[in-house]
Amino acid sequence: MRIGSAVSAQSDLAALRILSRSTSSPGRPDRTAAADVFGGKAGSSSTLTTYSAKGTLSQGSGPEALIKAMAQSPTFANAARGVVDDQVRALVRDGKIATLPPPKDFDPSKLSAAEQNIYHVVEGLQSLYDFQPKTLDDALASHVKTVIDSYPDAIARMKDGLASGSLPESDGWKNVIAGYEAELEAAQQGRMTISGIDDPNLVQTTNVFDVRFDGIGWSGSGTKTTANIPALQQLTGTKNVLPGGGPYTGSYVISW
């Protein structure tokens, strides 16, 4: 179910250090099974040709060949300077580039400086987009799993802190713990629901999807969401709401 007028939206803030990010996580799609690589003359993104895991790259069989092919295309001129643009974002978002290996599995030192920049920009964007849920059901399932997997330990630590005095009761930690316990119970009992939100007055998100070098390492940002929580609470009939969204799902609210 979707609520509101038709507008495009993205997702919660998702910032991570690309150099330390693992490539595997529950529910991530396998884009190598139906990805695209550059074929024919190096030039615009129109030179993309279909690539499958059983095929071969037009200029070789490894990631170096794909990166070098991209470096010959003006489509990646900004990426070669370490700058993300909308053209490359769209190619990665739509799965048009074969999956590059993560830094822990690939040594780009033999590439030129421009080729290394392309590698970090494209691989970083692939990591960010892979992190996004592909459907509303995926978004709900991911949140439920996170709550069930992580909340018991978090609740136990908060209770220990409350007992030891390191978390003062006067700071409202009892209420915080109660909120965590209620959310965990709702997840365990299957009482969480999700609704798509198309009204920017309720949930509004900003597409970021950027990768940058800060002088030490590469880092990236996904998207940022702002929401009218009181309005969402009134809409859903509960105080327990969590707004979110993504490039594949649009905006949504999880409630329980």
**For range 31-53, the mean pLDDT:** 36
Give whole-number Cα distances, 209 to 16, 17, 30, 148, 247, in Å.
11, 13, 20, 28, 10
* Each residue's pLDDT tens digit, 90-99: 999 998 898 9
Q: Which tens digits make up the pLDDT trace of 69-85?
A: 999 999 999 999 999 99
The rounded distance, in Å, linking the Cα atoms of 59 and 38 is 9
pLDDT exceeds cutoff 80 at 58:
no
Give the pLDDT confidence of 119-138 residue by residue, as tens digits. Answer: 999 999 999 999 999 999 99
The angle subtended at Cα 131 by Cα 136 and Cα 199, nearest 5°, is 40
Strand-by-strand arrangement of the 241-246 sheet: 2-3, 193-197, 250-255, 241-246
pTM of the entire predicted model: 0.73
CA–CA separation, 35 and 33 (whole Å): 6
Q: pLDDT at residue 50 above 60?
A: no
